[in-house]
Structure 1
């Protein structure tokens, strides 16, 4: 072999070695860079996770507590004593699940001194407050068309009863300052405001100068109070209880829809609706400031003496309120909206509120149709 050929082969081998060396160097540097990126991503993830705090509260509501005479008489255990707990025993396990449960106390419990009464002007035994607490209720909305059934004396007596049982309430008030005080509560570092209003009081007027006795629907006033709750009281979520709509209509009126839009755009996060005495749909509305607001147009009758025509159907809406904090910033959101239907059974003069499940075939309604009606368009 000539000297020149040997030199060419040597140069070629050195070139091949250099190529392999360069290849492995590039592979090594790529792996190191990838590892650095992975480590940085992991560090960023753990930093974000470490400094991200998410608090969660489950909030729920049930419909009308409207005690007709046959309901409270079924709970009478002596001349002046009543026990409603057996009515709620079947459904109690469901009601105890949420962290905070609101009910619409439609027939005010002013007690026997003012005379117990039924339709058209209601007055209920005070024991219903105690037994709703037993069932799991934490808060009462009291602004409704029966708020003045026993006049201002009925408002004062029912508030005295609420206070005696340490039951928080809103919607009816002792005086003007009481009305101006927005009810707030805090659980798991999440703060809420609760408001309550009614379309009217069946033609019964508050005495002149005592308009504070019951909150009436007034969109401008409601927007001001929602704004005050969010901006001055700095609450995370605003719950609005509305006594509105038309009785026995299973769909919301145009007025309900328009009002819901106005209030949710003003900052209301949750609307619990009452008065129609039948179930109306629940909608999730995307607001212009990128919130998800929940509107339950009507939760039906939870307990009443009304029968048939879906007036003996009610239920509990439950949802999760999340508050997430990261680097001094907070964001609030609503998740996991669920509905648990209930049915009021009456047998031989005794009333029982039953959970309505797809396994129960002795209830004269379709479970599937009920759920499709109440949750027609919800997607998480």
Structure 2
């Protein structure tokens, strides 16, 4: 198993370096992009269940997600984005455009090491309030925290606050609303729609309830664009000027976008897909990143935050015609891969596979750095060491 070592850095160039408090509190956060279970991944889970004899109702997502467990499980707080509502364990299940996915994925997310998830997305309302309630009930059963959608108006006013190494950390989530399945006016409370005033009010409630750190998940931007949109950039600026949010985690584009420090606050505009299998894979939609953030208490009562990342890739088997055999060394199963670890320990992988991993590592790094973060902001790939 790999252990993770986060090396902290000073804040962005031009700003004074915060004085870290001797003996002060600290904690790490791992966050990733969309968990989007397409039908091909359900088929893979069924195939894996036959091999492992594990899972529930003939589905086992464990082997698919095992590659990121060594990183996710090491974080003091791990945050996922659950893109879609879940159905019943035996189905029926649906893919795009109105998703309904196996609840078994939630058990796997918990086993991988995730503590809490954002649930606000343009697919939250794909099957209405009943599916929202079923999803949150299933997350409770799996032991996963959640924020961004609600079963009742009273729950909508609650704040997801967790004790992380003695620090009260709040997690908020907001999304743009689907035009295909908009939330009815009389049930708006069930879904957190992106609105600066709403974000400000939620942060205020979190602080009043004792939150010392506030992390915000945003489902925003344009699909398949590796650069944040103008509305994203404008909202980022407003968040830094009008709130005290300490970290912003983005998703929805299904491809990696930059990590950047804006007015002293880290923004991961989009971490791509954690796991997905689009009907027309582009190469970019299989590439993602785990953001790794270390918070250290400073002498002025604030937090020094450093940022690292881990490139990931969803391996996809080749599509074969009936009777056709896969090339030697080809991918056999859908798997989420920790790219850096795969390159460190190739274990007989074909040169073609290794070339694909190198491309994912280099391209992901390029997109993440695209707004200047490797300068004074100090964004770097997370160091991995073997036990």
TM category, shorter: 0.7 to 0.9
How far did residue 263 of structure 1 move?
1.3
The alpha-carbon distance between structure 1 residues 113 and 338, as it changes in their structure 2 partners (threshold 3 A), is same
- Cα separation, 1, equivalents of 2:58 and 2:283: 32
How far did residue 277 of structure 1 move?
0.3
TM-score w.r.t. length of structure 1: 0.80
- 2:188 alignment counterpart: 211
- 1:264 alignment counterpart: 240
Greater fraction helix: 1
Checking the alignment, whether the CA contact within 8 Å between 1:100 and 1:137 is kept in structure 2 is yes
- Cα separation, 2, equivalents of 1:111 and 1:225: 32
Q: 2:158 aligns with which of 165, 170, 181?
A: 181
**1:31-46 equivalence runs, <5 A:** none
Question: RMSD in angstroms over aligned alpha carbons?
Answer: 2.2
Checking the alignment, whether the CA contact within 8 Å between 1:144 and 1:197 is kept in structure 2 is yes
Q: Aligned pair 1:236/2:236, yes or no?
A: no
- 2:3 alignment counterpart: none
- 1:370 alignment counterpart: 364
What is the DSSP-based 3-state SS (H/G/I as helix, E as strand, rest coil) of the residue aligned with 1:86? helix
Q: 1:301 aligns with which of 262, 265, 273?
A: 273
Which consecutive residues of structure 1, in runs of 5 or more, have no partner in the other structure?
Answer: 1-47, 287-291
- Cα separation, 2, equivalents of 1:202 and 1:343: 30
Checking the alignment, whether the CA contact within 8 Å between 2:287 and 2:364 is kept in structure 1 is no
Checking the alignment, whether the CA contact within 8 Å between 2:129 and 2:151 is kept in structure 1 is no
The alpha-carbon distance between structure 1 residues 181 and 260, as it changes in their structure 2 partners (threshold 3 A), is same
- 1:73 alignment counterpart: 43
Q: Aligned pair 1:338/2:337, yes or no?
A: no
Checking the alignment, whether the CA contact within 8 Å between 2:272 and 2:285 is kept in structure 1 is yes
Q: Aligned pair 1:351/2:334, yes or no?
A: yes
- 1:317 alignment counterpart: 291
Q: Deviations over 1:244-296 (max 9, x none)?
A: 0000000000100111111122111111101000000000122xxxxx31100
Checking the alignment, whether the CA contact within 8 Å between 1:110 and 1:161 is kept in structure 2 is no
How far did residue 375 of structure 1 move?
2.5
The alpha-carbon distance between structure 1 residues 68 and 191, as it changes in their structure 2 partners (threshold 3 A), is same
- Cα separation, 1, equivalents of 2:183 and 2:126: 11
TM-score w.r.t. length of structure 2: 0.78
Checking the alignment, whether the CA contact within 8 Å between 1:192 and 1:235 is kept in structure 2 is yes
Checking the alignment, whether the CA contact within 8 Å between 1:146 and 1:202 is kept in structure 2 is no
- Cα separation, 2, equivalents of 1:114 and 1:156: 16
Q: Aligned pair 1:361/2:355, yes or no?
A: yes
Checking the alignment, whether the CA contact within 8 Å between 2:288 and 2:364 is kept in structure 1 is no
**1:101-250 equivalence runs, <5 A:** 101-112=78-89, 115-230=92-207, 232-250=208-226
How many aligned residue pairs are there? 322
Structure of higher RCO (CA pairs closer than 8 Å, 6+ residues apart): 2
